A and B are shown apart, each in its own frame.
Chain A
């Protein structure tokens, strides 16, 4: 049997080679379909991976709690406009929600920063030291400030790469330099490692961190002492995030004395929630790709079926001869199925080459990240095979059902 299959494959290849133009045109549908799918999946995967990497820059297993909105006579302010979250909320949460490994808090405002004769307007963040660990900030030089710095409202600052680029000469060491924020001198004690864009597209490196107490007392001059812009928590296990979020909600509702029928005066977002939004987007993309792939493979398959029907008619006499010398139905079926699958597999292989080239070219020209996964290639190959098999079945059966006498007489 194996000699039969092998010879049939060789015969099929020879027939294809003989009708190169026809075979090429027939395969075009499959080639384009497979190429499009591979290229688009690669680009989609690349984009997805990039987004995942951005989400990962948030930190590990992070929960963010924003204050609610102000509401005066039914007119509601923007997200976080209320001053309902406080440092004591954060401290209490750490005690009452054991799932939380740590909590931190921050408050931000955009202010002018001056160094020498240069200046820059950037977001000043008053933070608790724990914020740095929750958000996984690391340092290219220097290091974080401490609990002591927080308690003593020390004038120390950590600056991001964008700030470094705007205030310092290339090669100049920022650690040890004194910068002025709202005319208050701060000593730079650490330079933050770059994080790049956030999932929302903001530049995360355009940032200055100073101790929360220093910010409150010496820079922001807020009248709401103790209120925070946002609170952060983290859990050890990613699975704990939803449960921790629920417990945080209960604690905050009771602390803020919110009645059962009233809305929360805060919003809780976990890293999982943010990931889900992205997953939803990529699912839509996947569905679209699936639709495109289905249509192009369908069209390609119909092309193969068409050409095989032509082939069966053209080669009626040959089929008659094969039957006369003892070909059984399955031999004839196999012959045409193998021809169909050869067409679709060669088409699929060309499509894979074209798709991979397309993806690489996209990276090269547009600079989009692309990821070519072996699974997609395998899947494309498998689908080509199935298309050949499915659309070859009808012509193959038609050939096998020919009456040998009539086939031999066919002109």
Chain B
């Protein structure tokens, strides 16, 4: 069985005026289905660029990136959008909920672009909100929810499509300690009980501690890659 994520000598080069910025320099990485990985690194290390490529928001300048066996480097913008819709769930630092739109409708959003009937969209979004403990708050607006609750709506939005990969970019960056722990526990549970692959970008050690594997990026390359916890996933990983 192929790995979920395969990065092979990935380069990302930006041109800023006359300057050439090498954000990723021949990075290689493999992540299996069901892993919970923390990616760490200082700012400017290239971890955001890596997240964008892993999330199919961006494409490598050189090298290969395969998600679930699909070569993402050659796809057109709309095809990438399709992959994001089908395979990836995003959780952002600043939640990125659509303002003045209810929790339910925010959670519905990815299904909106799948062309499901309204009834199905609502049912699935309500179920996803239930999984993150937000029953009864379906019709609350983001401004009526705490930061932790907003981030849970965002997780529900990421979960609603049953993605193979959940990408969380500093998910606790805007939250207090208690909310951070809540969010991390939800992610931990999703990984352990439902076998959802989670890649977490953070620079907080205690947040990274929830993950089972820790990859440190520096200067566009993998500095270290180690397993920090014995695997406890319900679904055994093939390989």
Contact indicator A326/B85 (Cβ below 8 Å): yes
Interface assignment of A7: CB less than 8 Å from any CB of chain B? yes
Interface assignment of B174: CB less than 8 Å from any CB of chain A? no
Map CB proximity to A onto B92-113 as digits: 1 under 8 Å, 0 otherwise. 1000111110000000011011
Interface assignment of A139: CB less than 8 Å from any CB of chain B? no
Known: A325-B90, A326-B86, A328-B113. 10 other contacts (CB 8 A): A1-B115, A3-B116, A3-B118, A7-B118, A321-B109, A323-B57, A325-B110, A326-B161, A327-B113, A328-B77
Residues from chain A with a CB closer than 8 A to the CB of B85 are 325-326
CA distance A331 to B100 in the complex (A): 20
Residues from chain A with a CB closer than 8 A to the CB of B143 are none
CA distance A329 to B96 in the complex (A): 20
Residues from chain A with a CB closer than 8 A to the CB of B114 are 326
Interface assignment of A405: CB less than 8 Å from any CB of chain B? yes
**A329: nearest chain-B partner, CB-CB:** B78
Q: A323-B81, A328-B78 are in contact. Are A404 and B118 (CB under 8 A)?
A: no
Q: A324-B55, A326-B81, A326-B86 are in contact. Are A6 and B118 (CB under 8 A)?
A: yes
Interface assignment of A257: CB less than 8 Å from any CB of chain B? no
Residues from chain A with a CB closer than 8 A to the CB of B90 are 324-325
Q: List 19 A-B contacts (CB under 8 A).
A: A3-B117, A317-B96, A318-B99, A320-B96, A321-B96, A322-B98, A323-B57, A324-B55, A324-B90, A325-B90, A325-B113, A325-B157, A326-B81, A326-B85, A326-B110, A326-B114, A328-B77, A328-B113, A408-B57
Residues from chain A with a CB closer than 8 A to the CB of B98 are 318, 321-322
Contact indicator B81/A328 (Cβ below 8 Å): yes
Shortest Cβ distance from B139 into chain A, in angstroms?
14
Q: A6-B118, A317-B96, A324-B84 are in contact. Are A331 and B113 (CB under 8 A)?
A: yes
CA distance A317 to B101 in the complex (A): 14
Map CB proximity to A onto B60-90 as digits: 1 under 8 Å, 0 otherwise. 0000000000000000011001101110001
Interface residues of B in 107-144 (CB under 8 A from A): 109-110, 112-118, 121
Interface residues of A in 320-370 (CB under 8 A from B): 320-331
Residues from chain B with a CB closer than 8 A to the CB of A320 are 96
Interface assignment of B9: CB less than 8 Å from any CB of chain A? no
Contact indicator B96/A322 (Cβ below 8 Å): no
Interface assignment of A4: CB less than 8 Å from any CB of chain B? yes
Shortest Cβ distance from B106 into chain A, in angstroms?
9
Interface assignment of A18: CB less than 8 Å from any CB of chain B? yes
Interface assignment of B32: CB less than 8 Å from any CB of chain A? no
Contact indicator A408/B92 (Cβ below 8 Å): yes
**A326: nearest chain-B partner, CB-CB:** B85
Number of A-B contacts (CB under 8 A): 67
Tell which of A6, A322, A326 has the most Cβ of chain B within 10 Å. Answer: A326
Residues from chain B with a CB closer than 8 A to the CB of A325 are 84-85, 90, 109-110, 113, 157
Interface assignment of B219: CB less than 8 Å from any CB of chain A? no
Q: A321-B98, A404-B57, A405-B57 are in contact. Are A327 and B118 (CB under 8 A)?
A: no
CA distance A405 to B59 in the complex (A): 11
Residues from chain B with a CB closer than 8 A to the CB of A405 are 52, 57-58
Contact indicator B115/A4 (Cβ below 8 Å): yes
For the complex of A and B, 9 pairs with smallest distance between CB atoms: A326-B85, A325-B110, A328-B78, A326-B113, A328-B81, A321-B96, A326-B84, A3-B118, A404-B57
Shortest Cβ distance from B168 into chain A, in angstroms?
13
Contact indicator A326/B116 (Cβ below 8 Å): no
Shortest Cβ distance from B31 into chain A, in angstroms?
20
Interface residues of A in 207-240 (CB under 8 A from B): none
CA distance A6 to B112 in the complex (A): 11
CA distance A320 to B109 in the complex (A): 12
Residues from chain A with a CB closer than 8 A to the CB of B113 are 4, 322, 325-328, 331
A contact residues, range: 20 to 34
Shortest Cβ distance from B96 into chain A, in angstroms?
5
CA distance A320 to B57 in the complex (A): 10
Shortest Cβ distance from A21 into chain B, in angstroms?
16
CA distance A320 to B112 in the complex (A): 15
Shortest Cβ distance from A320 into chain B, in angstroms?
8
Residues from chain B with a CB closer than 8 A to the CB of A330 are 78
Map CB proximity to B onto A295-321 as digits: 1 under 8 Å, 0 otherwise. 000000000000000000000011011
Shortest Cβ distance from A334 into chain B, in angstroms?
11
Shortest Cβ distance from A31 into chain B, in angstroms?
26
Contact of B82 among A4, A7, A326 (CB under 8 A): A326
Shortest Cβ distance from A3 into chain B, in angstroms?
5
CA distance A408 to B52 in the complex (A): 11
Residues from chain A with a CB closer than 8 A to the CB of B118 are 3, 6-7
Map CB proximity to A onto B38-58 as digits: 1 under 8 Å, 0 otherwise. 000000000000001001011
CA distance A321 to B94 in the complex (A): 11
CA distance A325 to B125 in the complex (A): 14
Residues from chain A with a CB closer than 8 A to the CB of B86 are 326
**A7: nearest chain-B partner, CB-CB:** B112
Residues from chain A with a CB closer than 8 A to the CB of B84 are 323-326
Contact of A322 among B78, B82, B109, B161 (CB under 8 A): B109
**A1: nearest chain-B partner, CB-CB:** B115
Residues from chain A with a CB closer than 8 A to the CB of B121 are 3
Contact indicator A327/B116 (Cβ below 8 Å): no
Interface residues of B in 165-216 (CB under 8 A from A): none
Contact indicator B77/A329 (Cβ below 8 Å): yes
Residues from chain A with a CB closer than 8 A to the CB of B55 are 324
Residues from chain A with a CB closer than 8 A to the CB of B117 are 3
**A323: nearest chain-B partner, CB-CB:** B81
**B92: nearest chain-A partner, CB-CB:** A408
Residues from chain A with a CB closer than 8 A to the CB of B116 are 3
Residues from chain B with a CB closer than 8 A to the CB of A408 are 57, 92, 96
Shortest Cβ distance from A131 into chain B, in angstroms?
74
Shortest Cβ distance from A144 into chain B, in angstroms?
75
